[in-house]
Structures are given as C-alpha cells and as structure tokens.
Amino acid sequence: RARWEGGAFEGSEEERHRILAEAMERGAAYIDVEWRAGFDDLIRARDGRGVIVSLHDFSGVPADLQFRAAAMRRTGAEIVKISVATSSLRDCLPLLDLARNNEASGGDGAGSVLIGMGEAGWATRILAGKFRSRWTYAGRAAPGQISLDRLLREFRFRSIRRDTAVYGVVGSPVAHSVSPAMHNAAFAALGIDAVYVPLRASTPDDFMSFAEAIGLNGASVTAPFKPALAAIVDGGDPVVKRLGALNTIRRARDGWTGINTDVRGFLAPLAGRIDLAGCRAAILGAGGAARAVAAALGGEGAIVSVFARDDNQARAVASLAGGAGFSGLPARDSWELLVNTTPVGTSPRVNDTLVAPDDLAGAAGRFVYDLVYNPLETRLLRDAATAGCDTISGLDMLAAQAALQFEWWTGQPAPKAVMRQAALAALKTTEVSGLSGE
C-alpha cells in the first residue's frame, strides 16, 4: 500500500506496479490497486477479475462519494473497496446509501466492500451483509478493526444475513462493553436470528438517524445518553419518569418505547439475602448509577444516605429515596448495606478504594455491594470480605439488568447462566470500562 493512501510501502510506484503484476502472474486470488494509482493496465490484464480497486480516505467521508464510487466501477474491477474514516454513526450512512443505490440500479452489491474506519464504523464491519459487502476485514492491522476471534465467535459473523434482526449498545465509548458478549451468547443459545453490536454515537440524534436507517430492533443505552434518550423516547415507564433516564429501547409500531432495567437489575442480587425494609444503606457517589440505586433502595423501604464530594449533588440523589445527602464518607457504624456507585477501583487502578480497611473493622455480617465489575473482586470487596462482610460484585447487577433487557426485547426467558458465563469470558479478554448502571 502506498504511503499516500495510508500504507507503509517505501519503494517507487514502478516497484509497486512490478510487485502487483508479479503477484497476478503467480496466481494471486486478488490484487488491491488504489483508484488514484492509475494502474489501469493491471485491471485490463485480467478483465477486472481478481482485482480490487480501492479508495481510503482518512479525513472522513468525501462529499462526492457517489461520484467516486461510480468512477471506480467504470474501471471494470471486480471489487470496489471504499474505506472512509468515521467519527459518528451518521458517517456510516453514505456507505449504506451507496450499497442500496447500487442494488436499486441493477447491481447485486456483490462487487463492493464498504468500510467505516474507527469505532463508530464497527457496524459496517460486523453487518457487512447489510452494507452489501462481499467480505470484511478483521485483525489489528488498521484502526477500528475487530479481532478475527471476536468477529467469528462473539458476533457470529458467518450467520448474519440481510434479514437478521439487529440490536446494539449505544454510548460513547462502547467498543469494550461486555454487553455484546452476553446478548449474542443469549441469541445463540435460544436459536434467535439476531446480532447485538457496539454503536458509538456522537449525539442522541446521531444514534437515532442510524437506528432508523439500519432498521434497529432495540438497544441498550449507556453513558452519556441515558437522560437524553429518555427525553426523546416516551415509553410510559414510571421508573424512567422518576429517574429521567432509560437504559433500554425497542422499536414499536409508532416509533420507539423505552424502560429502565437498572433498578430491578440492582435489586436482583439482593433478593433473599437482605431485608431492605428499614435497612440503613449508604451510597457512595452521586452519578447516574447512584440515582438508580437510590430509587431502588427507597422503593424497598431502606433508610438511604448518599455520600459524594458535592453535598448538593448527594442531597439531590438522596431525595429520590427520601434520604439525606452528605459530603465525605459514612461513619463506620452507620450502615448495614454499603454501595459503591463510583468507578473507583476499576481496572487498571485496581488498588484504589474509597473505604479504608480500618473503616470496615467490626462490619462482619454487613453487606458491601460494588457496582464495579472489572475486576470482579475490587479492592473494596476484597477488604470487605476480609472484614467478614457479605459481598456482591457489579457483574451480578450487569447480568441481571441485561437479562431483563433480553426478555423485554424477545418475550423469552433469558438464559441467565449463559449470559453470565459469556460476560466472564469477555472480561478475561477485553479491556472494559467496568461500572454497572452507567
């Protein structure tokens, strides 16, 4: 690949031409010739067969993409490959339009490979069939590529058809979310023809435009879009109205509907283990996850206190449970349930904790719940276990809320053990953000 097209070849254009010609003579299945290279003789030598004519634009999506694609097709090459840098989901839509226009004009799309480079373009790689691409690329050779193992195993690339139902997780960033592993494993276990993909959006409108264009069936919603999409999607869920945030949407007959499974997902691991009515619960943090936790605990009759750096924010969160908000940290003997909703302790800073071991002295028999799920056992949970506390990992909440999402989308019981196992496997191989409820 020439340097002027993003490659690393150091030689002259004459050398490149000679190497490509020799590859043809030796029976290479395909050679890749840049559209701007002017190597038309190589295309003619095979009547286009086994020749890819390619365009790589690292600056973004060119305004004249349709014109360039038409010119590339006129070269007679068997495959037209177009790779453009994407910074939003909307940047993928010209590629989708290109594929559909070509199909509508009489082509079957089999002669195209259309790729959005970067995390925002992952859908073009995973959903290659929907973009009418003959194939896609996997590995770590270029920005935004997905490993071959993940593409084949997690996303089940070879089973994705044009009519396969599409779900996803929308946020920024989302590339290292373990949600695709859980939901794709669940679809596979129940034989559902569906795929779940990461969708890195720049804005809520960016996501909604892509969702409509691709025919998205549903999505998990994560930071920073939970409040914004709650304002756009009206599902009538009282939890959404109370929190001003949703974490799940699905397509309805007249648009979209949404719910919030974080509250029930948080409570699920506590069921049968602790009586929350009258329980003194201390929440660390005042972000979106803390709001869901406060609403959950308040709804069960717990006595809630919220602790954060900003006491005004702490009081605002505590008001969801009729509780009190403070700056700083809770006193040693002031709680029966301690919940960390902050990212403190998340990988790679695994030795960080908000609660010193001495502050857990005498806490035997109490509960400590850390919404961080990477690592599975945080420093806080480790110290709490040493002090004799019962501990709950953020993975328990993550898996519980994901199961609720799956059931709402499909109407079928979620294979919870399969989903949890998939999350555990993904945690061993993927760098993840690691905080449930955000």
Could you list the active site residues?
56, 81, 226, 262
Name the residue type at position 106: G
How far apart, in whole angstroms, are the C-alpha atoms of residue 245 and residue 223?
10
How far apart, in whole angstroms, are the C-alpha atoms of residue 43 and residue 68?
17
> Which among 199, 213, 190 is positioned nearest to 126, based on CA atoms?
199
> Which among 26, 25, 43 is positioned nearest to 34, based on CA atoms?
43
Sequence-ordered strand ranges (E) for 71-213: 79-85, 112-117, 165-171, 194-200
The residues, any chain, with a CB within 8 Å of residue 64's CB and separated by 6 or more, are none
Tokens describing residue 331: 């006193």
Tokens describing residue 383: 């110290």
How far apart, in whole angstroms, are the C-alpha atoms of residue 245 and residue 221?
9
DSSP 151: I
How far apart, in whole angstroms, are the C-alpha atoms of residue 171 and residue 228?
11
How far apart, in whole angstroms, are the C-alpha atoms of residue 65 and residue 115?
13
Displacement of CA 307 from its chain's centroid (Å):
30
